[in-house]
Structure 1
Amino acid sequence: MSVSLADYRSALTVPGATLPVVFSGIGRLPIAMYSFATLLYVQRVEGSFATAGLVSAGSLVGAAIGSVAQGRLMDRRGPSGVLLVVSTLFTVAAAALVAGIESGAPLPLIVGLAFFSGLVMPAMPAATRALWERLVPSGRLREAALSYEAISLEVFFILGPGLAALLASGPWPGTGTAVAVLATVVGAVGFALTAAVRATPPMRPAGRPTLLGAIGTPGIRTAALTGLGFGLVVGAVELGVPAVATQHGEPWLGGALLSAWSVTSVLVGVLYGMRPWPRALHLRMPVLVTGFGVLVLLMWATASSLPLLIVAMLLAGGLITPQTTGQSLVVDAVAEPGTATEAFGWVVTAITVGAAVGQSLAGTVVEAWGASGAFAVGGFAGVLVGIVLWLRRRTIESPPDVVQLSLH
């Protein structure tokens, strides 16, 4: 199914969408900002990247677990109450974290506070994505709305880390963390209090609830696998690009290239949505993940030449938004009724875990074999996950009516 610019405009202007869109934008901006700002904050105070990495990892692990737990609660109880409660807890946890950093509290306590703050950080991506299921009917407008979610999230991933670095360089290194917390709470509370969100009823999952919840569905496990593969590749590249730029004597180029990578992703994502290929989701996702891995391997092969590396990187960036859009569409197609928010939370968790593992593996390889080795890690991981997705493709095959729509 293709999506035009008019479809984006129509989806974003459906009755009840305006205020949720505005507040979700504010609340999702810090998604890539909070942990990075905290990392910079701790590093400036403690003078150690190792300590800062542990604290940042704590918040990321907490967020990975929290997105699933909050998603399940939102499905069962509706999003408004859950978001208001976790926003309150997040404010308290973040304030305690800042107090601990400023007072020189023991590292285990700081890591624990970071973990808890991540756990209760409002799961805005899952909440906003699920709202479109109620506001927008299935078909072209639903796909346009989910594409907007993926594209806007990519924009926030561009802006967040840069804003965090800028604010951390000021007189107080905790400014970035404070701004991220404020934006998250304002966005989440404002979103929760809009009429459209307050009117969202609790959903009872089809069939008998299980301990596994949404991840018990084979299709959702495959959707999470797409997120894991995506995160592995992105995490490795995000570590490798600054390392290669520094190796070439141009450390400033690392941030510029990652920003350009994301900009390319957004632009190509809009164009790709007008005529996606392959059309069928169960074929599209293995192809996109494998292609992503292959293009990152091309970055590995061209790393000795900055101009060629830049070309390969921009080509790879073009496959980012098509993947994140496809992940939302897969959840939309295969999640059991009443489990969509939790299901998307699993995808977010898989991406977060994948990025953390990708960065860790790439960092080890870079130390042992050089900066370009990070791209080998990401590329081979993407190809391997793509092969597994191809073997599992039938678990995310769209229902016959959706397949028929996608072929016209």
Structure 2
Amino acid sequence: MSHSARLADYRAALTTPGARGPVLASLVGRLPIAMVGLSLLLYVQRATGSFAIAGMVSAGTLVGVAIGSVGQGRLMDRVGPTRPLLGVVGLFALFVTAGVLAVEAGAPTWLLVLLGFAIGASEPMIGSASRAMWTRLVPSGPVRTAAYSYEAISMEVFFIVGPALSGLLVAAPWAGTGVVLGAAFMIVGGVAFALSPTIRRYRPEPRAGGGSLLGPLSSPGMKTVAIAAAGFGVTIGFVEVAVPAAATQAGNAPAGGLLLGLWSVSSVLFGVYYGTRPWPRPMHLRLPVLLAGFSVLVALLAIPTSLVGLALTLLVVGTLVTPQATAHSAALELVAPPGTITEAFGWVITSVTLGLALGQSVSGQLVEHVGVWSSYLAATVAGLLIALVVYLRRHTVRVAAPVAAVPALV
């Protein structure tokens, strides 16, 4: 299929009857997805004067997101997205308010960490519901996979804009401005998405895999996708600590965020192109090959001796970020048991989040005790080892010919 025809698939997905309202609402609700956690970290650090306390609160938020994404997904699969989303939006507003009041009152660290966990767990998983929406709006084929590609690309854009807004708003007269503004966007977008006619008409599908506590993760293929997503998170986690550390050592700490933004830019641009020319075609090979390729590219980051060189290398490395995210999303259609797609996507979010936390924690130790270069090489080794595991489990993602023949964008 030609390049222009594939771009037409993107247009067809976004102009599908019933899609406009939820798409716009999800844009508003997901814009601050990378903003709330970072703004909370900066706010706590500014209020307490301690990066250690701020880091603990941030870790609590990440764990909350990891747990909440699965729980919310399971509820949405069973009763539809509207009621669960409205419920968690109310809890999210309550916990953000309590968190801000606790920070202003100088509450003890344990309480701040607990509230951070509650904020993360109640963060409305609009992305999971939005991704699942496309399985009902458009038939299986290139238009649906174009929709999945759009979901991943838009998330990358949010991960560029969110941290930038956080950095600007922390300089506002009140350091909590970013937390409140980000939460407000998430609340408004979440309510609008949940109440849109398309989402309210959702009726749960017959559910499989629900007899197990792990739900869709009881599927062997789902485990393989989760492992691939965790490897993706681990590798990125190493880099997200090492790059700011390199900027700090070079005497230009503010450049760290800008440098990470660069790889998101190339990720978005190449992600659109890759969507029209995906390789390898078979999903059971695409998952390990993309992770292995990304891991090898990360090793290149150990070479540059200047921030300019690091910036150029990050542009190269970033090209394989969005293709992995879209592959994880598309693979769910092949491995998730019927009626569990929202929870399955929640497991992907959980896997990436836990991978990020692991990669960041190990990277911090390596940067401090060995050197920045060691973090990049450790990321490569970890990514390649996990890619090998995914490759050895590739048979669990194989599908029957009618499904495999779909010309997927991702």
**Residue 121 of structure 1: aligned partner:** 123
2:202 equivalent among 194, 200, 203: 200
**Residue 281 of structure 2: aligned partner:** 279
Deviation at 1:407, TM superposition (A): 9.3
CA contact (8 A) 1:280 1:406 kept: no
**Residue 67 of structure 1: aligned partner:** 69
Cα deviation, 1:82-141, whole Å, max 9, x if unaligned, reads 000010011001100111000011111111111111111111111110011101110000
Deviation at 1:33, TM superposition (A): 0.9
**Residue 397 of structure 1: aligned partner:** 398
* Higher mean C-alpha displacement, 307-316 vs 361-370: 307-316
- Give me the whole-angstrom Cα distance separating, in 2, the residues matched to 1:207 and 1:267: 37
Q: Secondary structure at the match of 2:251?
A: coil
Provide structure 1 residue ranges, at least 5 long, that are not aligned to the other structure.
none
Q: What TM-score results when the alignment is normalised by the length of structure 2? A: 0.96
Cα deviation, 1:174-212, whole Å, max 9, x if unaligned, reads 000001110111010000000000001123313662222
* Higher mean C-alpha displacement, 341-350 vs 207-216: 207-216
1:263 equivalent among 262, 265, 288: 265
CA contact (8 A) 1:143 1:329 kept: yes
**Residue 347 of structure 2: aligned partner:** 346
Deviation at 1:405, TM superposition (A): 3.2
Deviation at 1:404, TM superposition (A): 2.5
Provide structure 2 residue ranges, at least 5 long, that are not aligned to the other structure.
none
CA contact (8 A) 2:141 2:408 kept: no
**Residue 57 of structure 1: aligned partner:** 59
1:175 equivalent among 167, 174, 177: 177
1:35 equivalent among 19, 34, 37: 37
- Give me the whole-angstrom Cα distance separating, in 2, the residues matched to 1:263 and 1:34: 21
1:139 equivalent among 141, 146, 157: 141
Deviation at 1:32, TM superposition (A): 1.0
**Residue 337 of structure 2: aligned partner:** 336
**Residue 76 of structure 1: aligned partner:** 78
CA contact (8 A) 1:131 1:197 kept: yes
Listed as ranges, the matches of 1:215-226 within 5 Å are 215-226=217-228
Whether 1:379 and 2:380 are equivalent positions in the alignment is: yes
Change (3 A) 1:273 1:41: same
* Higher mean C-alpha displacement, 46-55 vs 249-258: 249-258
CA contact (8 A) 2:83 2:194 kept: yes
Residue type matched to 1:193 in 2?
L
- Give me the whole-angstrom Cα distance separating, in 2, the residues matched to 1:49 and 1:372: 23
State the Cα RMSD in Å. Answer: 1.6
Cα deviation, 1:267-291, whole Å, max 9, x if unaligned, reads 0000011111101111111000001
* Higher mean C-alpha displacement, 379-388 vs 249-258: 249-258
Q: Secondary structure at the match of 1:205?
A: coil
Whether 1:165 and 2:131 are equivalent positions in the alignment is: no
Q: Secondary structure at the match of 2:69?
A: helix
Identity %: 52
CA contact (8 A) 2:81 2:202 kept: yes
- Give me the whole-angstrom Cα distance separating, in 2, the residues matched to 1:220 and 1:147: 19
1:13 equivalent among 5, 12, 15: 15
**Residue 316 of structure 1: aligned partner:** 317
- Give me the whole-angstrom Cα distance separating, in 2, the residues matched to 1:256 and 1:107: 30
- Give me the whole-angstrom Cα distance separating, in 2, the residues matched to 1:20 and 1:106: 40
Deviation at 1:401, TM superposition (A): 1.1
Residue type matched to 2:305 in 1?
S
Q: Secondary structure at the match of 2:264?
A: helix
Q: Secondary structure at the match of 1:4?
A: helix
Residue type matched to 1:380 in 2?
V
Q: Secondary structure at the match of 1:372?
A: helix
- Give me the whole-angstrom Cα distance separating, in 2, the residues matched to 1:361 and 1:326: 26
CA contact (8 A) 1:361 1:377 kept: no
**Residue 110 of structure 1: aligned partner:** 112
- Give me the whole-angstrom Cα distance separating, in 2, the residues matched to 1:155 and 1:212: 31
CA contact (8 A) 1:240 1:373 kept: no
**Residue 304 of structure 2: aligned partner:** 303
Residue type matched to 1:395 in 2?
T
Change (3 A) 1:139 1:183: same
Deviation at 1:397, TM superposition (A): 1.7
Whether 1:130 and 2:132 are equivalent positions in the alignment is: yes
- Give me the whole-angstrom Cα distance separating, in 2, the residues matched to 1:154 and 1:207: 31
Deviation at 1:356, TM superposition (A): 1.0
- Give me the whole-angstrom Cα distance separating, in 2, the residues matched to 1:208 and 1:330: 19
CA contact (8 A) 1:41 1:168 kept: yes
- Give me the whole-angstrom Cα distance separating, in 2, the residues matched to 1:204 and 1:107: 44
The count of corresponding residues between Structure 1 and Structure 2 is: 407
Change (3 A) 1:183 1:370: same
Q: Secondary structure at the match of 2:372?
A: coil
